[in-house]
Structure 1
Amino acid sequence: MKWKQIPLGPLQTNCYVVYDESQSCLIVDPGENPRKLTAVIEQLELKPEAIILTHAHFDHIGAVDRIRDKYGIKVYIHEKEKDWLTDPALNGSKHFMLNEPIKARAADHLFHDEGNLSIGNFNFEVFETPGHSPGSVSFYFPKANFVLAGDALFQGSIGRTDLPGGNHNQLIKSIHDKLLVLPEETEVLPGHGPATTIGEEMDSNPFLNGF
């Protein structure tokens, strides 16, 4: 199992393609620049299976429909943010974007709770990690030893909680209960910035002192 980080859009939001030896792939958080993302997919000769979203803030969903339609694939999101794709007021683009607000069609599948999920060749765990947003989730691939943490946990930082639906105490609890319990060598693939590890953040993240 391999992954590639692709920063997209003005906020350099990390999109990821997770792929295996068969060249099948999952696309995580296609936030912008569908042509750039498509170019990477074609360069790696990948076959997309689905789009999975850690959450539905505008900088994570801008290319959803273009990529969904190009490859004929389904979109997955947590049920608590099922309306955010279609509503610029909920996904934040109505308030933050200078140009046209961002929206996409409704998701094809909803995460109703935590647990194991299989899509094509891929088998992984879905963790509910709210706090940055109500429906934030993380995707853990135990055999490959990485977790896609969205905007919950960053290198040396955590997600902002001052947006509608954000909750600082809830985010800290999510990180402590769902992420810091993973093996310390687990790679953390965040929604912004460089990859890190659980151990590194336990040791040096100033927002997690006391854990």
Structure 2
Amino acid sequence: MNWTQLPLGPLQTNCYILSGEDGECIVFDPGAEGEKLVQWLNENRLQPLAVLLTHAHFDHIGAVEQVRQAFNVPVYLHKEEAEWLTDPSLNGSARFQFGEISSQPADHLLDEEESLTIGRFSFRLFHTPGHSPGSISYFFEEGNAVFAGDTLFMGSIGRTDLPGGNHEQLLQSIHNHLLTLPEEAIVLPGHGPATMIGDEMERNPFLNGF
């Protein structure tokens, strides 16, 4: 299995493509530049099986509809943000200068911690609210990597000043779920470079003394 990081849009939101040797793949957080993303997938002869969203802020969902329609795949999202895809006032796009963003509702709504298998890809799901109420982290155990969205970054954590954000809740999510993963697990965040659980435990100033 391989993962590819594709920063997209004005906020350089990381879209991740998790692919197998047979060309099947999972698309995480297609945030913008849908035409470019679809072209990249076609050029690399990849066949998406699903779109998995870590949360539904506008910079993570801008290309959802283009990917869904191009490949006829389902979209997964936590139930706490079920209305966010269709509502610019909820996903935040109405507040910023990038234009209002919306799409059709998710095909599957996820609920609390559970496992999820799509094709050959299996994930452990952690509900990690704090940055947003429906944030999900997807742990791909086979590759020892967690797709963490805007929950945890290299040397930082997600912002909590947007509607539905909660600083204490975010810290609890990180400590109760992400920091229980193996220290060598790779953290694939919504922005910026990848990191490792062990490195963040030792060096992240936001986690010290919690």
Q: TM-score, normalised by structure 2?
A: 0.98
Q: How high is the sequence identity, in percent, across the aligned residues?
A: 59
Partner deviation per Cα, 1:35-55 (whole Å, 9 max, x = no partner): 221232123211100000000
Letter in 2 for 1:56: A
CA distance in 2, matches of 1:44, 1:18: 12
Task: Using the TM superposition, name which of 38-47 and 15-24 deviates more.
Answer: 38-47
Alpha-carbon offset, residue 99 of structure 1: 4.7
Structure-2 residue corresponding to 1:16: 16
CA distance in 1, matches of 2:122, 2:99: 37
What is the RMSD computed on CA atoms of the aligned residues? 0.9
CA distance in 2, matches of 1:99, 1:192: 17
Q: TM-score, normalised by structure 1?
A: 0.97
CA distance in 2, matches of 1:13, 1:100: 16
CA distance in 1, matches of 2:125, 2:72: 23
TM alignment of 1:76-115, pairs within 5 A:
76-96=76-96, 98-115=97-114
In the alignment of these two chains, the number of paired residues is: 210
Structure-2 residue corresponding to 1:178: 177
Give structure 1 regions of 4+ aligned residues with deviation exceeding 4 angstroms: none
Letter in 2 for 1:24: E
CA distance in 2, matches of 1:28, 1:99: 21
The answer as to whether partners of 2:126 and 2:138 remain within 8 angstroms in 1 is yes
Partner deviation per Cα, 1:51-101 (whole Å, 9 max, x = no partner): 0000000000000001100000000000000000000000000011x2530
CA distance in 1, matches of 2:99, 2:191: 23
The answer as to whether partners of 2:126 and 2:137 remain within 8 angstroms in 1 is yes
Partner deviation per Cα, 1:93-139 (whole Å, 9 max, x = no partner): 0011x253001110000001211111112111111000000000000
Structure-2 residue corresponding to 1:33: 33
Correspondence 1:158 to 2:157: yes
CA distance in 2, matches of 1:38, 1:111: 25
Q: 1:99 to 1:189 in 2, by over 3 A?
A: closer
Structure-2 residue corresponding to 1:144: 143
CA distance in 2, matches of 1:103, 1:35: 16
CA distance in 2, matches of 1:122, 1:162: 34
Correspondence 1:201 to 2:200: yes
Letter in 2 for 1:189: L
Extract unaligned runs of 5+ from structure 1.
none
Partner deviation per Cα, 1:125-181 (whole Å, 9 max, x = no partner): 111000000000000011111000000000000000000000000000000010011
Extract unaligned runs of 5+ from structure 2.
none
Alpha-carbon offset, residue 202 of structure 1: 0.6
Structure-2 residue corresponding to 1:118: 117
Task: Using the TM superposition, name which of 158-167 and 108-117 deviates more.
Answer: 108-117
